[in-house]
C-alpha cells in the first residue's frame, strides 16, 4: 500500500487506473505533480475565482489538489483511462466535482482562462499540437506553467515551448523534477502539422493503396508500425457479416485492411485515445466510405462494459506502455476482455514482439494458442474460445 500524496497537510489517496492492475509497484503521481502543486500553492496563484486548465493530468494528482477550492477546473486529456482515473480518485477522496469540466484533446479550449498547468506529454507531437492550440486561444496575460521529470526536459523540448509560446525559462530541479515557465508572445502562430497523412501500400488481403490520416497523439502517426506490417500479412479471411473488434485500433489500419478484403464484415474500432478513434473514423470515411455504416467507433478502456459475447474475431496489436511506465497489464486486460466478448469458436488474433511471450498469457486465458507466423522479431498468435 502506498503512502498518501500529502501536500499542504492534505492527504489524498490516489490510485493508478485501472485499479486492478498487476503492476502495483508504481505510484499514481510523480515529483513533477508535487512540484506544480507546491509552487502554485506557495505563490498563491489560485483563489476561488481562478479558472484553471490542466493538461494531461495522469491520474488526478493535479485535479484533486485544485478541486479543493471553489474555482473552475478544466481537465484536458487524450486518454480515456486518465480521465477515468481522475474521476475515480476524486470520488474516493470525497472531493467536489461540480467545478470540474472534462474536455478531450480534440475539443476547443475554454476561453477566459487565468492559469494553464501543463504536464508535459511523452509524445512530442502532442506537445506541439497542444502548444499551438494554447497560443491560438489565449493572450499574453495567461500564466503558463509546465512540469515534468527533469531528465525528460531536454533543450529540444524547451525549444518547442520557445517556438510555439514565447520566452521560456526553467526552475531549479526539485526531487528530479523541473518546472517550465512561458510568457506568451504576440507573434503569429504556426499552423498545426497534424493530422499527418501517409500512404499504406496494398498488403494481402487488401489490394488498394490507402491514405492514412493521424492526429497528433496516434501511435504510428509517421508510418506503419513494423509489428502491424507483419500482422497485416496474416490477417484471416473472414465470411460476410463476421463481427470483428479492432482492439487498440490506433489509426485503424488492421480493421481497415480486413474490411477492404471483406466489405460485408462488421468492424468495431476501440481505443482509449480520443485522437486514435477520431483518426480511425476519418480513415474509414476517406478510404471505404460505403462501409462506414458497418463500423462502430468507441473510446473505451479495453472492452469494458462490452458484454454481448457474440464477437467472431478480435484483432489486437497490444501496447506495452501506459504513459511512461512499461507494463503488461493492458495486454492482460485486452486478452481477458477479448475472451469474454468472443462467442464460442471465436478467435483472438494478436501480434507481439517475440520476447514478450504472449503465448503464455493466451494459454492461461484460452487454454490454447497457435503460432500463425513468426520471424526473428515478431510472432502472430491465434487463440480460440472453446
Ligand X SMILES: C[S@@+](CC[C@H](N)C(=O)[O-])C[C@H]1O[C@@H](n2cnc3c(N)ncnc32)[C@H](O)[C@@H]1O
- The reply to whether 162 sits near ligand X by the rule CB under 6 A is no
C-alpha cell at 208: 488498394
- The reply to whether 274 sits near ligand X by the rule CB under 6 A is no
Of 40 and 259, nearer to ligand X (C-beta) is: 259
CB of 264 vs ligand X, minimal distance in Å = 22
Backbone phi, then psi, for 26, in 5-degree steps? -95, 140
* Residue-by-residue DSSP string for 254-320: HHHHHHHH-TT-EEEEEESBHHHHHHHHHHHHHH-GGGGGGEEEEE-STTTT-----EEEEEE----
Residue 188 CB: number of other CB atoms within 10 A?
8
8 A C-beta contact, residue 84 and residue 96: no
Segment lying near ligand X (by CB under 6 A), choices 45-53, 100-108, 110-118, 272-280:
272-280
Of 14, 135, 112, whose CA–CA distance to 63 is shortest? 14
CB of 78 vs ligand X, minimal distance in Å = 9
Give the one residue of 110, 166, 205, 319 binding ligand X; rule: CB under 6 A: 319
Whole-number Å distance between alpha carbons of 290 and 292: 6
Our CA angle for 213, 219, 223, nearest 5°, is 60
Give the one residue of 14, 54, 132, 254 binding ligand X; rule: CB under 6 A: 254
- The reply to whether 328 sits near ligand X by the rule CB under 6 A is no
Segment lying near ligand X (by CB under 6 A), choices 143-151, 244-252, 287-295, 378-386:
244-252
Residue 163 CB: number of other CB atoms within 10 A?
15
8 A C-beta contact, residue 284 and residue 252: yes
- The reply to whether 55 sits near ligand X by the rule CB under 6 A is no
Our CA angle for 26, 147, 14, nearest 5°, is 35
Of 116 and 277, nearer to ligand X (C-beta) is: 277
Q: Which of helix, strand or coil describes residue 120?
A: coil
Give the one residue of 30, 83, 301, 347 binding ligand X; rule: CB under 6 A: 301
- The reply to whether 302 sits near ligand X by the rule CB under 6 A is yes
- The reply to whether 352 sits near ligand X by the rule CB under 6 A is no
- The reply to whether 337 sits near ligand X by the rule CB under 6 A is no
- The reply to whether 228 sits near ligand X by the rule CB under 6 A is yes
- The reply to whether 272 sits near ligand X by the rule CB under 6 A is yes
CB of 358 vs ligand X, minimal distance in Å = 12
CB of 294 vs ligand X, minimal distance in Å = 19
- The reply to whether 317 sits near ligand X by the rule CB under 6 A is yes
C-alpha cell at 8: 499542504
CB of 210 vs ligand X, minimal distance in Å = 13
Sign of the dihedral through C-alpha 90, 93, 97, 99? negative
Sign of the dihedral through C-alpha 260, 228, 324, 144? negative
- Ramachandran area for residue 174 (φ above 0: left; ψ -120 to 50: alpha; else beta): beta
**Residues 196 to 225: which contact ligand X by CB under 6 A?**
219-220, 225
CB of 225 vs ligand X, minimal distance in Å = 4
- The reply to whether 81 sits near ligand X by the rule CB under 6 A is yes
Give the one residue of 114, 129, 271, 291 binding ligand X; rule: CB under 6 A: 271
- The reply to whether 33 sits near ligand X by the rule CB under 6 A is no
CB of 344 vs ligand X, minimal distance in Å = 24
Per CB under 6 A, residues contacting ligand X are 81, 219-220, 225, 228, 248-250, 253-254, 270-273, 276, 301-302, 317, 319, 330
Amino acid at each position: 500500500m502506498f503512502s498518501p500524496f500529502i501536500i499542504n497537510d492534505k492527504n489524498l489517496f490516489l490510485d493508478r487506473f485501472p485499479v486492478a492492475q498487476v503492476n502495483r509497484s508504481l505510484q499514481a503521481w510523480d515529483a513533477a505533480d508535487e512540484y506544480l502543486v507546491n509552487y502554485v500553492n506557495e505563490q498563491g496563484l489560485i483563489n476561488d475565482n481562478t479558472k484553471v486548465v490542466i493538461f494531461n493530468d495522469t491520474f488526478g494528482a493535479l485535479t484533486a489538489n485544485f478541486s479543493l477550492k471553489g474555482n473552475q477546473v478544466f481537465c484536458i486529456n487524450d486518454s480515456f483511462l486518465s480521465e477515468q482515473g481522475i474521476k475515480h480518485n476524486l470520488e474516493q477522496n470525497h472531493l467536489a466535482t461540480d467545478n470540474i469540466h472534462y474536455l478531450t484533446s480534440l475539443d476547443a479550449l475554454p476561453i477566459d482562462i487565468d492559469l494553464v498547468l501543463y504536464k508535459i506529454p511523452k509524445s512530442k507531437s502532442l506537445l506541439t499540437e497542444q502548444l499551438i492550440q494554447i497560443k491560438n486561444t489565449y493572450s499574453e496575460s495567461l500564466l503558463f506553467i509546465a512540469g515534468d521529470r527533469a531528465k525528460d526536459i531536454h533543450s529540444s523540448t524547451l525549444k518547442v515551448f520557445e517556438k510555439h509560446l514565447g520566452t521560456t525559462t526553467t526552475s531549479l530541479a526539485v526531487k528530479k523534477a523541473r518546472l517550465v515557465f512561458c510568457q506568451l508572445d504576440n507573434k503569429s502562430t504556426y499552423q498545426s502539422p497534424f493530422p499527418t497523412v501517409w500512404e499504406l501500400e496494398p498488403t494481402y488481403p487488401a489490394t488498394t493503396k490507402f491514405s492514412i490520416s493521424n492526429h497528433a497523439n496516434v501511435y504510428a502517426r509517421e508510418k506503419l508500425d513494423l509489428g502491424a506490417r507483419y500482422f497485416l500479412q496474416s490477417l484471416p479471411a473472414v465470411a460476410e457479416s463476421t463481427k470483428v473488434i479492432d482492439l487498440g485500433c490506433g489509426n485503424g489500419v488492421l480493421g481497415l485492411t480486413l474490411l477492404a478484403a471483406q466489405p460485408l464484415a462488421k468492424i468495431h474500432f476501440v481505443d482509449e485515445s480520443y485522437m486514435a478513434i477520431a483518426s480511425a473514423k476519418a480513415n474509414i470515411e476517406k478510404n471505404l466510405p460505403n462501409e462506414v455504416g458497418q463500423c462502430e467507433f468507441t473510446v473505451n478502456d479495453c472492452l469494458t462494459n462490452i458484454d454481448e459475447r457474440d464477437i467472431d474475431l478480435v484483432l489486437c496489436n497490444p501496447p506495452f506502455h501506459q504513459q511512461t511506465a512499461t507494463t503488461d497489464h493492458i495486454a492482460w486486460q485486452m486478452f481477458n476482455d477479448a475472451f469474454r466478448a468472443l462467442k464460442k469458436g471465436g478467435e483472438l488474433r494478436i501480434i507481439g514482439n517475440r520476447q514478450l511471450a504472449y503465448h503464455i498469457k493466451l494459454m492461461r486465458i484460452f487454454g490454447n494458442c497457435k503460432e500463425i507466423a513468426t520471424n526473428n522479431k515478431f510472432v502472430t498468435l491465434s487463440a480460440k474460445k472453446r
